[in-house]
Amino acid sequence: MQHPITILEQYWNFTEFKPLQEDIINAVIEGEDTFVLLPTGGGKSLCFQIPALAKEGLCIVISPLIALMKDQVQRLQEQGIKAMALTSGITLEQLDTLLDNCIYGNYKFLYMSPERLQQELVQERIKQMNVNLIAVDEAHCISQWGNDFRPAYKHIKLLRQLQPGVNVVALTASATPIVVEDIIKELDFIQPKVFKQSFERPNLAYLVLQEDDKYYRIESILKKYTASSIIYVRNRRLTLDISAFLEKKGITSTYYHGGLSNTEKDKHMQFWLNNQKQVMVATNAFGMGIDKPDVKTIIHFNFPESIESYFQEAGRAGRNGDKAFAVILKNNSDELLVKNQFLGVLPTVDFIKQVYRKLGSYFQISYGEGEFTTHDFDFNSFCKTYQFNSVLSYNALLLLDRTSVISLSKQFHNQISIQVIASNTVVFHYLETHKNLEIILKSILRMYGGIFEHDTKINTHKIAEKSSSTETHIIAVLKQLERDQIITLNLAKTDAQVTFIQPREDDKTINRIASIIEQQNTLKQEQVAAVLNYIKNDTVCKSMQLLTYFGEKHVKPCGICSVCTKSNKKTNTQDLKALRNAIIELLEAENLSSRAIISKLDDSEDAIKKVLQLLLEHQIISITKTNTYKLFHK
């Protein structure tokens, strides 16, 4: 057996482990059931990857996040390690072959979603595999009290029956004490080794700032700290708006949301990862698996939906150990907004029944059928067809996804089908006068038999490869052929795929999960209340509030958060007289706005605003019609 440090150097080029990693790895190698609670960036994946590589056999990794599975598999493959993921959209025949490869092909890692464990074929083949470890990633999903609870995680216990001699390692980045206890119980751990790293981040300053003009505050923060940053927003439109605003202000920026194509996502990601763009403006679809050490600032333009998600998102700053900032911007309308956004759109059991019934009708699935069928899904068309509220419907679909009724994979692609409606003679006469289209049209005719007889789905990527062209050019050519009445063209845009995991049984299906839906709605209300309490509480250190939430005891003030710095300023007596004189001196030269005064002085913004208010009250200064300050008798 290779020593863990040798494997670390060979595949990851590191010469030492992060805190707790080596102890965890040794416990896993020794066959102990192990619980791992490491904050974001703590290096959880190595805690199961290295033990799996050290021992003969295959590691089964259970994860709910398809994107993260694909990312980890790709990274392992790039390092020459045999790994695969059983994602949605693969046929039974492909599944059969892939599982055979796990038995006979010397694979080291098999990633799968918990839903896959419900398939008999998968269960039978797992019995035949030489499994050396079972890793449960995002283990908080197994607890009904955990963020993003997924009932399918309850089936993971089945792996213990299929492979009774194999130990289990459960890993998560965010779990309260009740969730930790629940995970250990649900996975049937006996005398587990429990490793918890403190969630304390001494280099990360948590700031909650009251702002009427959030755009101005973002600009001033990013111009002061010019290193890599992420701004989290709640919708796609804001990613575009804020990114465009920053570019106009001379701050390089890009954006990321679930509606982008994979090509666009990769391109924007690379701009940011390579520091060609300072700022990534993103929805919470961004960040999983990203390990960029030099992120200086995380700004939440809107309130996060839970303390768990906030801690993970904020934790992406300052991984290199340098001082970093996690900022929440708030104004007077934010509380109502967060309640409307997360609580006002919680779907009831009755509404979810409606959505599920209509989903079956939309895809023309017969009662009792549809299990493991996958369908391209135009969400906007679905809502329009049945006059559903889009936000409420989306949340209903997410609940159906979490409860393993369906699998909703968000992606964006063109689904194209064509039929040649002109005769053979007309087509070849047309080509004589349109030589520039000859290679593309001939490629299509050779690739797709029967295209004259019926509407045929085509793959523009393969056509582009065959004709040495681009997909954009192929689509332009198809549109021209349609205009010239050579083909009919169906160019449908879809933004998701839906896989039915259970056969369609309408209300019976939803009744089985009704109690889970109600419990999850209650949990969401508690999570939003916890976020609001954190944001409103300006008397207790922000770091202490977060650490206490995650069950840590004997915590101390951090000294650098918005509460601590304000408190420090109160104890260190401000020389208000000197600040007063400095402001008067500035206003003797010219009338200035409060922003201009703040930018010219080194004192804190709170102190400057306080002195300006005092000067106004004593009629030493006044406000002009253009909202600048001037000396009263000037």
503-523 pLDDT, tens digit per residue, is 999 999 999 999 989 988 898
In the chain, the percentage of residues whose pLDDT exceeds 70 is: 96
pLDDT band at 356 (very low <50, low <70, confident <90, very high): very high
Query: For residue 415, is pLDDT > 80?
Result: no
Confidence of residue 565 (pLDDT cuts 50, 70, 90): confident
Average pLDDT over residues 336-350: 88
What's the whole-number average pLDDT of the chain? 89
Class of the domain covering 341-412+497-525:
mainly alpha
- Tokens at residue 349, please? 């059991």
What's the mean pLDDT in 408-424?
A: 78
Helix or strand or coil: residue 134? strand
Domain covering 204-331+537-563, topology: Rossmann fold (3.40.50)
Report d(CA 71, CA 82) in Å as an integer.
14
Which pLDDT band holds residue 89 (cuts at 50, 70, 90)? low
Per-residue pLDDT, 107: 95
**Whether domain 573-631 has CATH 1.10.10.10:** yes
Residue 572 confidence class, pLDDT cut points 50, 70, 90: very low
- The pLDDT-based confidence of 62 (bands split at 50, 70, 90) is very high
Which tops the pLDDT comparison, 594 or 89?
A: 594
CB 222 within 8 A of CB 297: yes
Superfamily name with CATH number, domain 4-196: P-loop containing nucleotide triphosphate hydrolases (3.40.50.300)
Where does the pLDDT of residue 413 fall: very low under 50, low under 70, confident under 90, or very high at 90 and above? low
pLDDT in tens, 145-193: 877 788 888 888 899 999 999 999 999 988 889 999 999 999 999 899 9
Share above pLDDT 90 across residues of the chain, in percent, rounded to a whole number? 52
Query: pLDDT for 189-201, tens place per residue?
Result: 989 999 998 889 9
Residue 573 pLDDT level (bands cut at 50, 70, 90): very low
Average pLDDT over residues 590-595: 89
Q: Give tens-digit pLDDT for 7-28.
A: 999 999 888 998 899 999 999 9
The pLDDT assigned to 251 comes to 97
130-169 burial, b if ≥16 CB within 10 A, otherwise e?
ebbbbbbbbbbbbbbbbbbbbbbbbbbeebbebbeebbbb
Q: Where are the alpha helices (DSSP H) in 285-389?
A: 307-314, 334-342, 349-362, 379-386
Three-class SS state of 172: strand
